[in-house]
Amino acid sequence: MIMTQLERKGGGRYGCKDVPAPEREMIMTQLERKGKILITDDEPNALKVLSAILSEEGYQVLSAQDVDRAIEIIQGEEIDAIVTDLRMPGKSGMQFLEYVTEKYSDIPLIFLTAYGTVESAVHAVTRGAFYYFIKPPDYIKLKSILARAVEQRLLKREIDTLKKTISNGQALPFVVGNTTQMRKIAETIETIKDSSSSVLICGETGTGKELIAKTLHFSSIRKNKPFVAVNCAAIPRDLLESELFGCEKGAFTGAVARRIGKVEESEGGTLFLDEIGELDLSLQAKLLRVLQEREFERLGSNKKIKVDFRLVSSVNHDLKKAVEAGTFRRDLFYRLNVVQINVPPLRERKADFPVLVSQFLKEFCLREKKILKVSDEVMSIFENYLWPGNIRQLKNVIERAVVLAKESPVTPGELPEELAAVPAEKQQDASQKTLRQMELQVIKDTLENCGGNKSKAAKLLGISRKAFYKRLKELNFS
């Protein structure tokens, strides 16, 4: 697999010993699949010894005493690596290599022979063999080479699957995770996906609220209709009304042509209003009317336009407090909050790190045409870091690591400074603090590492400058 494996005993690494049994079993099954090995050798004793050694390592081992039988096995099984003798009755190991490279080029083949020569070894490797051992081999090295071969094979298989998914135009999975919170979210999505009721998604910046909105849309009966996203915090307030509802030519200075708004664009589909708490009260009133009447008017027009869309909204703070403060309409809040989905921050999803890292690593390895895994040290850093930018920040960190990495595994040297700068012990101590204290500490550390450059700190944390400055204000930090 792409992701670094859990220790095979005791639930060991990546925080899994504290995960409930069903989740731990699922993650362990995913991470510990060692692979299926085919051994081909005409000597029964050699087959028996090597099969026993590899079985103890956790591999599923199949065996054949000649090439014809080995080919039959390959045709009926998903083989991850082959270990074969060179000289055998009937077809030789070299003929077997030619067959494998022609028909199953992604299966790595390792030679293990008592009749090896420099010439035959060079010939085998230049023809596509993964490695060449002379009997008796150094079994520690053999196991190491075999593990690398299997890992490469499994990664190639996952990348091929991803390529097929993309080429077939199938929707990729957006919600990733095995924790109780994420399974509950997945169950909620499955229950409400075909409803027209409004959904409010709550969670910190970078937790994947838009991805959940996309999952809702693309798994629903509206999936062939538009998914239209609007970031209410990123558009100037004086332009937001025309962005949402469109305008007629001459409706205001600069309106040189008719413009279709996002509400109209989302006809039949889903309108996603990210950071809806940023709407001013006049726009809130207009949106409320649209939700009630299912019709609206473009700016500069009195013509009613009927519209059918599902509204999904998101906030990164408690919208109830805004209602109590009078900055958000209570009646609109009730319209939006028919179904509420609360997305946990990444620091509360440590059991999901293996699958999240795997997902992002696959995505960027595919783009960069690389085959990588992450080291134990990097996974330990990931676990101990507080991730103020949440999943968005993790994705940015992995993208950077894949781009910079020259060889596998990814090491701390490919990580941004703010991850490596704070010792693991310091971050673990911080986990005992309040959320406010943790956020303040991370902001201080990141700003210090960036020499006080707030724009750079926001970028490293994987959040927008506006969201970063807003967080500084909320934390009374300057």
Cis peptide before 136 (omega within 30 of 0): yes
Its CATH class, for the domain covering 20-167, is alpha beta
Q: Report whether pLDDT(199) > 50.
A: yes
Q: Which helix (H) or strand (E) holds 63?
A: strand 60-64
pLDDT of residue 57: 85
Burial of 385 (0-12, 13-18, 19+ CB in 10 A): buried
Q: Report whether pLDDT(411) > 70.
A: yes
Q: What's the rounded mean pLDDT across residues 171-194?
A: 80
Q: How far is CA 476 from the centre of its chain?
A: 33
Token digits of residue 202: 């709550």
pLDDT of 104-116, one tens digit each?
Answer: 888 899 998 887 7
CATH of 349-474, one of 1.10.10.10, 3.40.50.300, 1.20.1730.10, 1.10.8.60: 1.10.8.60
Contacts of 149 (CB under 8 A, 6+ apart): 80, 81, 108, 110, 130, 131
Closest among 29, 349, 395 to 179, alpha carbons compared? 349
pLDDT of residue 428: 46
pLDDT of residue 174: 60
More confident residue, 91 or 465: 91
Are 20-167 and 180-342 in the same CATH fold? yes
> Rounded mean pLDDT of the chain?
80
Q: Which helix (H) or strand (E) holds 323?
A: helix 319-325
Strand order in the sheet with 339-342: 227-231, 270-274, 310-315, 199-202, 339-342
Q: How far is CA 307 from the centre of its chain?
A: 35
Q: Which of 2-6, 28-32, 134-138, 390-394 has the highest mean pLDDT?
A: 390-394
The Cα 447–Cα 467 span in angstroms is 15
pLDDT of 239-262, one tens digit each?
Answer: 888 889 888 876 666 666 778 889
Domain boundaries, the chain: 20-167, 180-342, 349-474
Q: Report whether pLDDT(379) > 70.
A: yes
Q: Which phi and psi angles does 322 have, rounded to 5°?
A: -65, -35
pLDDT more than 90, % of the chain: 30
170-179 burial, b at 16+ Cβ within 10 Å, e below that, comes to eeeebbbbbb
pLDDT of 314-353, one tens digit each?
Answer: 999 889 999 999 999 999 999 999 999 999 999 888 888 8
pLDDT of 252-308, one tens digit each?
Answer: 666 667 788 899 999 999 999 999 998 999 999 999 999 999 998 888 888 899 999
pLDDT of residue 26: 38
Its CATH class, for the domain covering 180-342, is alpha beta
Q: What's the rounded mean pLDDT across residues 356-385?
A: 86
Between 15-24, 49-58, 465-474, the lowest mean confidence (pLDDT) is in 15-24
Q: Are residues 259 and 242 in contact, defined by beta-carbon separation less than 8 angstroms?
A: yes
Q: Report whether pLDDT(228) > 90.
A: yes
pLDDT band at 409, cuts 50/70/90?
confident
Q: Report whether pLDDT(312) > 90.
A: yes
